[in-house]
A and B are shown apart, each in its own frame.
Chain A
Amino acid sequence: MVETPTLESLQATLAAQQSVFEMHQAMNVEVFYWWCTAIMIMIHAGFLAYEMGASRSKNALAAGIKNILALAVIIPTFYLFGWWIYNAFPNGFIPIEASGALPWAASMGPDVTDMGTGIFWAAFAMFGATTGSILSGAVIERIRVSAFLILTVFLGSVVWILAGAWGWHPDGWLLTELGYHDVGASGVVHAIAGFFTLGVLINLGPRTGKFINGVAQTISPHSLPMTLIGLMMIIFGFFGFLGGCIIFNGGETGWTTIYNNPTNLSAFAFNTLMGFAGGVIGCYIASRDPFWTMSGGLVGIISVAAGLDLYDPELAFIIAVVTGVLAVKVAKIIENLGIDDAVGAVAVHGFTGVWAVILVGVFAGGMPNVGDLPPITFTGQLIGAAVMLALGFIPGYALSWVLKKCNALRVPKEAEELGLDEVEIIAKPYPEANGVPAVSESDVPNKLANL
């Protein structure tokens, strides 16, 4: 005999189903950001290949180890104070209560009841590490690793996340006062890192031999193919990065931007790929150069990232083509000013990031924000872009100036001429090519035993 369900038993079953559904939804959110974070690691694999390839062979490993260490110091420092800065400074420079983001808080570790903090912290830490990698490529072959790590911690765990608190936090003053829109982090990550890099480059100076009688010389990458592959790996990683820029909500809300307006991954997919294609074409037209053609993919995505949720894909494509052409011109202007940016980071990330924020004001001005937030405006975007430029440049210039005055910024000329691998690193990238046998007789098990 089948029992007739009572109202109470049906309610209990429904509640149990609801509980299961909510748990799986929370798990899906975690899974999504987990894989975004994993894919973002590919950005760093790409930067690693890109920087090592862009260096001369005498500096290849020094460039690589610098990049690896950047990742290793930004992650713990972002845990120690970066996450707290994001949560504490949406209003400007006066902190609000954010004790839950301090490193000794219960939510900053394994917690059965918190299925959000760790995964968001991880994604944001990878954003921070990306800023460090942007700096890392530009300064290859002459910066001291110790100085670079100080700079990269300041950029990756302080400066960019302060920009994030202002322009990405739901209560960030750029949003609440100006309606600032920068969905894919063109401003808060790329502009900040690019102009921080410019500040550092001014104090660091060019590589020896880069300018002869004021004329810029070509210092060829030792492995252009490795650089091109690295750039394509960064493009792959961008899908994790941009996935980390969308909010996977529970309940009926679905996808939203960080500003809480509805969007979806389809919108992001249209414009990410159209931006990539446009940037490649623009940089190719302007340069005919393989390095810049591939860098154009980055330029294109960054150029549309700020308005990734808003643009018509064809408009995104056109924006990316035009920005690709402009980025190459900007890189030439920077070089003509006597600044040696080994990988074009200031043009690719700094100029493009600022430009992208402004373009949202040009093409999407008048778009509403949710609730009582002011709409997107050209003026708001222009002010936001200026804030990003200044917030990136001033700390980068100031801290590198201090390091320079302490004679702690740049390697000695003799070390630069010999090559940093020879001077600082205990391994050689291509031993046979340098007349050193790959296998040599030794009384000790291996070279590490001599340490």
Chain B
Amino acid sequence: MGTSISSWENVGAYFTFADNPLALGLFTLGAAAIIVGLIASIAKHENEAFEKIEKK
């Protein structure tokens, strides 16, 4: 569904969704969200791990 070309003649950017700025924008947001989510999840894991020590 992401095909951006129909032939290899005179082709330039041919990656998936290359002709769909909206999709590329959404992928950008998705990639950024993953990084933010990763760091947030690590912070949560750390907080939980540190709380366990305090309870011991």
- Does A146 contact B32, Cβ atoms closer than 8 Å? no
Which residues of the other chain, A, contact B54 by a CB distance below 8 angstroms? 412, 414
Q: How far is the CA of A218 from the CA of B34 in the complex (A)?
A: 40
Nearest B-chain residue to A111, judged by Cβ: B13
Contacts A76-B31, A104-B24: A424 and B13 contacting too (C-beta < 8 A)?
no
**B15–A73 touching, CB < 8 Å:** no
Contact B31 A73 (CB under 8 A): no
Chain A residues close to B by CB (< 8 Å): 69, 73, 76-77, 79-80, 103-104, 106-107, 109-114, 144-146, 149-150, 153, 408, 411-412, 414-415, 418, 423-424
B53 touches A423 (CB 8 A): yes
Query: Given A80-B31, A104-B24, A415-B53, are A149 and B42 also a contact pair (CB < 8 Å)?
Result: yes
Give bound CA distance, A411 to B49, whole Å: 10
CB pairs A–B below 8 angstroms (28 shown) = A69-B38, A73-B35, A73-B39, A76-B35, A80-B31, A80-B32, A103-B24, A103-B28, A104-B25, A104-B27, A106-B13, A106-B18, A107-B13, A110-B15, A111-B14, A113-B12, A144-B43, A145-B46, A146-B40, A146-B43, A150-B39, A411-B46, A412-B50, A412-B54, A418-B53, A423-B49, A423-B52, A424-B45
Residues of A within 8 A of B15 (CB): 109-111
Known: A80-B32, A104-B28. A112 touches B11 (CB 8 A): yes
Residues of A within 8 A of B18 (CB): 106, 109
Query: Closest 8 CB pairs between A and B?
Result: A106-B13, A104-B24, A146-B43, A109-B15, A111-B13, A110-B15, A146-B42, A113-B12
**For the side of the interface on B, what is the size category?**
20 to 34
Known: A80-B31, A104-B28. 19 other contacts (CB 8 A): A73-B35, A73-B38, A76-B31, A104-B21, A106-B12, A109-B13, A110-B13, A110-B14, A113-B13, A114-B13, A144-B43, A146-B39, A146-B46, A150-B39, A153-B35, A411-B46, A415-B53, A418-B53, A424-B46
Q: Which residue of A lies closest to B25 (CB)?
A: A104
Q: Are B35 and A415 in contact (CB under 8 A)?
A: no
Residues of B within 8 A of A146 (CB): 39-40, 42-43, 46
- Does A408 contact B43, Cβ atoms closer than 8 Å? yes
Instruction: Provide the bound-state CA to CA distance between A248 and B32, in Å.
Output: 33
Q: Is A111's CB under 8 angstroms from B25's CB?
A: no
Q: Are A412 and B43 in contact (CB under 8 A)?
A: no
Chain A residues within 8 Å of B21, by CB: 104
Specify which chain B residues have a CB less than 8 angstroms from the CB of A112 in the assembled complex. Answer: 11-14
The CB with the most chain B CB atoms within 10 A, among A80, A104, A418, A423, is that of: A104
Closest residue of A by beta carbon distance from B53: A414
**B26 nearest CB neighbor, chain A only:** A104
Cβ of A423: which chain B residues have Cβ within 8 Å of it?
49-50, 52-53
Residues of A within 8 A of B31 (CB): 76, 79-80, 103
Q: Report Cα–Cα, A170/B54, bound state, in Å.
A: 54
Which chain A residues border B34 with CB–CB below 8 Å?
76
CB distance from A47 to the nearest CB of B (A): 20
Residue of A nearest to B12 (CB): A113
User: Which residues does chain B contribute within 8 Å of A412, judged by CB atoms?
Assistant: 50, 53-54
Specify which chain B residues have a CB less than 8 angstroms from the CB of A107 in the assembled complex. 13
Q: Report the separation of the CA atoms of residues A112 and B13 in the bound assembly, to the nearest whole angstrom.
A: 6
Min CB distance A317 to B, Å, is 43
Residue among B28, B34, B46 having the largest count of chain A Cβ atoms under 10 Å: B46
What does the 1/0 interface line of B6-17 toward A look like (CB < 8 Å)?
000001111100
Docked complex Cα distance between A112 and B27 (Å): 22
Give CA–CA (A109, B34) in the complex, Å.
19
Cα(A369)–Cα(B23), bound, Å: 44
Q: Cβ of B39: which chain A residues have Cβ within 8 Å of it?
A: 73, 146, 149-150
Given the contacts A146-B43, A414-B53, A77 and B35 also touching, CB distance less than 8 Å: yes
Contacts of B45 in A (CB 8 A): 424
Contact of A424 with B49 at beta-carbon distance under 8 Å, contacts A110-B15, A145-B42, A153-B35 already known: yes
For A418, what are the chain B residues with a Cβ–Cβ distance below 8 Å? 53
Instruction: Find the A residue at minimum CB distance from B52.
Output: A423
Q: Are B53 and A144 in touch, CB under 8 angstroms?
A: no
A149 surroundings in chain B (CB, below 8 A): 38-39, 42
Do A111 and B35 contact each other (CB < 8 Å), given the known contacts A412-B53, A415-B49? Answer: no
The interface residues of chain A lying within 8 Å CB-to-CB of B35 are 73, 76-77, 80, 153
Cβ distance B34 to chain A, nearest Cβ, rounded Å? 8
